[in-house]
Amino acid sequence: MSDQSTKERILEAASRVFCEKGFKATTVRDICAGADANVAAINYHFGDKRKLYYQVLQMWMDEMMTGADRQKGITEDSTIEERLRAYVSGELRTLCTYDDPKKIKKRKIRLLFEEYVSEDCDPELFKCHDEIDGELLIPIIREILAPIEDDKIIQQAHIAASGVLVHHFLAIIHYPEGEIESEEKLNFMTDYYTTFILGSLKAIKEKYHAK
Protein backbone atom coordinates (compact mmCIF):
# COMPACT_ATOMS: atom_id res chain seq x y z
CA MET A 1 0.00 0.00 0.00
CA SER A 2 1.11 3.58 -0.63
CA ASP A 3 2.22 5.93 2.14
CA GLN A 4 -0.82 8.09 1.39
CA SER A 5 -3.27 5.23 1.89
CA THR A 6 -1.53 4.34 5.16
CA LYS A 7 -1.84 7.94 6.36
CA GLU A 8 -5.53 8.00 5.44
CA ARG A 9 -6.17 4.71 7.25
CA ILE A 10 -4.48 6.04 10.36
CA LEU A 11 -6.56 9.22 10.30
CA GLU A 12 -9.80 7.30 9.81
CA ALA A 13 -8.99 4.85 12.60
CA ALA A 14 -7.81 7.62 14.91
CA SER A 15 -11.01 9.55 14.30
CA ARG A 16 -13.10 6.54 15.30
CA VAL A 17 -11.08 5.65 18.39
CA PHE A 18 -10.59 9.20 19.67
CA CYS A 19 -14.30 9.86 19.20
CA GLU A 20 -15.17 6.75 21.20
CA LYS A 21 -12.56 6.96 23.98
CA GLY A 22 -11.21 10.51 24.03
CA PHE A 23 -7.54 11.48 23.97
CA LYS A 24 -6.33 10.13 27.32
CA ALA A 25 -7.95 6.70 27.12
CA THR A 26 -6.83 6.09 23.54
CA THR A 27 -3.53 4.33 23.02
CA VAL A 28 -1.37 4.35 19.93
CA ARG A 29 -1.82 0.60 19.75
CA ASP A 30 -5.61 1.06 19.62
CA ILE A 31 -5.14 3.22 16.55
CA CYS A 32 -2.62 0.82 15.00
CA ALA A 33 -5.07 -2.04 15.36
CA GLY A 34 -7.86 -0.06 13.71
CA ALA A 35 -5.64 1.17 10.89
CA ASP A 36 -3.71 -2.06 10.28
CA ALA A 37 -0.54 -0.03 10.73
CA ASN A 38 2.41 0.00 13.12
CA VAL A 39 3.70 2.54 15.61
CA ALA A 40 6.50 3.52 13.27
CA ALA A 41 3.96 4.54 10.62
CA ILE A 42 2.14 6.82 13.08
CA ASN A 43 5.42 8.38 14.18
CA TYR A 44 6.48 8.83 10.56
CA HIS A 45 3.28 10.50 9.38
CA PHE A 46 2.25 12.40 12.51
CA GLY A 47 5.08 12.46 15.02
CA ASP A 48 3.18 11.32 18.12
CA LYS A 49 -0.29 10.74 19.54
CA ARG A 50 -0.85 14.38 20.44
CA LYS A 51 -0.03 15.62 16.95
CA LEU A 52 -2.25 12.94 15.43
CA TYR A 53 -5.07 14.00 17.76
CA TYR A 54 -4.66 17.58 16.62
CA GLN A 55 -4.95 16.47 12.99
CA VAL A 56 -8.15 14.58 13.82
CA LEU A 57 -9.62 17.60 15.61
CA GLN A 58 -8.73 19.77 12.64
CA MET A 59 -10.47 17.30 10.35
CA TRP A 60 -13.59 17.44 12.53
CA MET A 61 -13.58 21.24 12.53
CA ASP A 62 -13.24 21.34 8.76
CA GLU A 63 -16.16 18.91 8.41
CA MET A 64 -18.35 21.03 10.69
CA MET A 65 -17.50 24.26 8.93
CA THR A 66 -18.08 22.93 5.41
CA GLY A 67 -20.95 20.58 6.23
CA ALA A 68 -23.46 23.26 7.24
CA ASP A 69 -24.47 25.93 4.74
CA ARG A 70 -24.61 29.26 6.60
CA GLN A 71 -25.89 31.08 3.51
CA LYS A 72 -28.58 28.64 2.45
CA GLY A 73 -31.22 30.39 0.35
CA ILE A 74 -29.49 33.77 0.58
CA THR A 75 -29.58 36.06 -2.46
CA GLU A 76 -28.63 39.67 -3.14
CA ASP A 77 -32.19 40.64 -2.19
CA SER A 78 -32.19 38.86 1.18
CA THR A 79 -32.91 41.02 4.21
CA ILE A 80 -30.53 41.34 7.12
CA GLU A 81 -32.90 39.19 9.20
CA GLU A 82 -32.84 36.45 6.55
CA ARG A 83 -29.05 36.54 6.44
CA LEU A 84 -28.84 36.25 10.22
CA ARG A 85 -31.35 33.39 10.22
CA ALA A 86 -29.35 31.49 7.59
CA TYR A 87 -26.21 31.89 9.67
CA VAL A 88 -27.93 30.70 12.85
CA SER A 89 -29.48 27.74 11.05
CA GLY A 90 -26.10 26.72 9.67
CA GLU A 91 -24.51 26.88 13.10
CA LEU A 92 -27.28 24.86 14.74
CA ARG A 93 -27.39 22.24 11.98
CA THR A 94 -24.10 20.94 13.34
CA LEU A 95 -26.05 19.84 16.42
CA CYS A 96 -28.77 17.91 14.61
CA THR A 97 -29.08 14.34 15.84
CA TYR A 98 -31.95 13.12 13.68
CA ASP A 99 -29.40 12.24 11.01
CA ASP A 100 -26.85 11.01 13.58
CA PRO A 101 -28.51 8.31 15.74
CA LYS A 102 -25.20 7.20 17.27
CA LYS A 103 -24.57 10.76 18.54
CA ILE A 104 -21.13 10.83 16.94
CA LYS A 105 -21.32 14.58 16.34
CA LYS A 106 -22.14 15.15 20.00
CA ARG A 107 -19.02 13.27 21.12
CA LYS A 108 -16.89 15.20 18.66
CA ILE A 109 -18.29 18.50 19.92
CA ARG A 110 -17.50 17.50 23.51
CA LEU A 111 -13.88 16.75 22.63
CA LEU A 112 -13.51 19.94 20.61
CA PHE A 113 -14.74 21.99 23.56
CA GLU A 114 -12.38 20.17 25.89
CA GLU A 115 -9.55 21.17 23.60
CA TYR A 116 -10.84 24.74 23.30
CA VAL A 117 -10.62 25.34 27.06
CA SER A 118 -7.33 23.48 27.58
CA GLU A 119 -4.31 25.53 28.62
CA ASP A 120 -2.23 24.40 25.65
CA CYS A 121 -4.92 24.87 23.01
CA ASP A 122 -3.59 26.02 19.66
CA PRO A 123 -5.89 28.84 18.45
CA GLU A 124 -5.16 27.85 14.86
CA LEU A 125 -7.48 24.88 15.36
CA PHE A 126 -10.51 27.16 15.60
CA LYS A 127 -9.33 29.78 13.14
CA CYS A 128 -11.63 28.43 10.41
CA HIS A 129 -14.69 29.35 12.50
CA ASP A 130 -13.27 32.80 13.24
CA GLU A 131 -12.85 33.32 9.50
CA ILE A 132 -16.46 32.33 8.82
CA ASP A 133 -17.66 34.76 11.50
CA GLY A 134 -15.49 37.46 9.99
CA GLU A 135 -17.00 36.83 6.59
CA LEU A 136 -20.64 36.36 7.60
CA LEU A 137 -21.65 37.22 11.17
CA ILE A 138 -19.60 40.33 11.89
CA PRO A 139 -20.79 42.15 8.72
CA ILE A 140 -24.39 41.35 9.74
CA ILE A 141 -23.75 42.79 13.19
CA ARG A 142 -22.13 45.91 11.74
CA GLU A 143 -25.09 46.47 9.45
CA ILE A 144 -27.63 46.04 12.26
CA LEU A 145 -25.70 48.36 14.60
CA ALA A 146 -25.04 51.03 11.97
CA PRO A 147 -24.28 53.91 12.26
CA ILE A 148 -22.33 52.72 15.32
CA GLU A 149 -18.70 52.22 14.26
CA ASP A 150 -17.05 51.71 17.63
CA ASP A 151 -15.01 48.50 17.20
CA LYS A 152 -15.22 47.69 20.91
CA ILE A 153 -19.01 47.74 20.85
CA ILE A 154 -19.10 45.68 17.64
CA GLN A 155 -16.60 43.18 19.03
CA GLN A 156 -18.56 42.77 22.25
CA ALA A 157 -21.78 42.39 20.29
CA HIS A 158 -20.15 39.64 18.26
CA ILE A 159 -19.00 37.86 21.42
CA ALA A 160 -22.50 38.08 22.87
CA ALA A 161 -24.27 36.92 19.69
CA SER A 162 -21.96 33.98 19.04
CA GLY A 163 -21.88 33.16 22.75
CA VAL A 164 -25.61 32.44 22.76
CA LEU A 165 -25.08 29.72 20.16
CA VAL A 166 -21.94 28.40 21.84
CA HIS A 167 -23.90 27.97 25.06
CA HIS A 168 -26.41 25.75 23.25
CA PHE A 169 -23.51 23.60 22.02
CA LEU A 170 -22.32 23.28 25.62
CA ALA A 171 -25.80 22.65 26.98
CA ILE A 172 -26.47 19.54 24.91
CA ILE A 173 -23.46 17.81 26.44
CA HIS A 174 -25.28 17.50 29.76
CA TYR A 175 -28.88 18.27 28.83
CA PRO A 176 -30.13 15.96 26.06
CA GLU A 177 -33.38 17.90 25.79
CA GLY A 178 -31.37 20.56 24.00
CA GLU A 179 -30.55 18.19 21.17
CA ILE A 180 -32.09 18.97 17.79
CA GLU A 181 -33.77 15.69 16.91
CA SER A 182 -36.00 16.89 14.08
CA GLU A 183 -36.17 19.41 11.27
CA GLU A 184 -39.09 21.05 13.09
CA LYS A 185 -36.97 21.61 16.19
CA LEU A 186 -34.15 22.98 14.06
CA ASN A 187 -36.55 25.53 12.57
CA PHE A 188 -37.93 26.40 16.02
CA MET A 189 -34.48 26.89 17.56
CA THR A 190 -33.33 28.86 14.52
CA ASP A 191 -36.29 31.22 14.82
CA TYR A 192 -35.82 31.50 18.58
CA TYR A 193 -32.12 32.38 18.49
CA THR A 194 -32.50 34.65 15.47
CA THR A 195 -35.20 36.61 17.29
CA PHE A 196 -33.12 36.71 20.49
CA ILE A 197 -29.93 37.88 18.77
CA LEU A 198 -31.70 40.39 16.54
CA GLY A 199 -33.60 41.88 19.47
CA SER A 200 -30.44 42.10 21.55
CA LEU A 201 -28.52 43.86 18.78
CA LYS A 202 -31.32 46.35 18.25
CA ALA A 203 -31.36 47.07 22.00
CA ILE A 204 -27.58 47.61 21.94
CA LYS A 205 -27.95 49.98 19.03
CA GLU A 206 -30.67 51.95 20.78
CA LYS A 207 -28.61 52.27 23.95
CA TYR A 208 -25.18 53.05 22.55
CA HIS A 209 -26.18 55.09 19.51
CA ALA A 210 -28.06 57.42 21.86
CA LYS A 211 -24.75 58.24 23.50
Report the pLDDT averaged over residues 16-20: 96
Predicted confidence (pLDDT) at residue 39 exceeds the cutoff of 90: yes
Residue 97 and residue 181 in contact, taking contact as beta carbons nearer than 8 Å: yes
> What are the residues whose beta carbons fall under 8 Å from the beta carbon of 147, sequence distance 6 or more?
209
Domain coordinates of the chain in residue numbers? 3-60, 70-209
Residue 85 and residue 107 in contact, taking contact as beta carbons nearer than 8 Å: no
Domain 3-60 sits in which CATH superfamily?
Answer: Homeodomain-like (1.10.10.60)
Secondary structure of residue 147 in the 3-state scheme: coil
pLDDT digits 0-9 by tens, 165-194:
988 888 887 787 888 889 999 999 999 999
Confidence class of residue 4 from pLDDT cuts 50, 70 and 90? low
Share of the chain above pLDDT 70, in %: 97
Phi and psi (nearest 5°) for 74? -85, 135
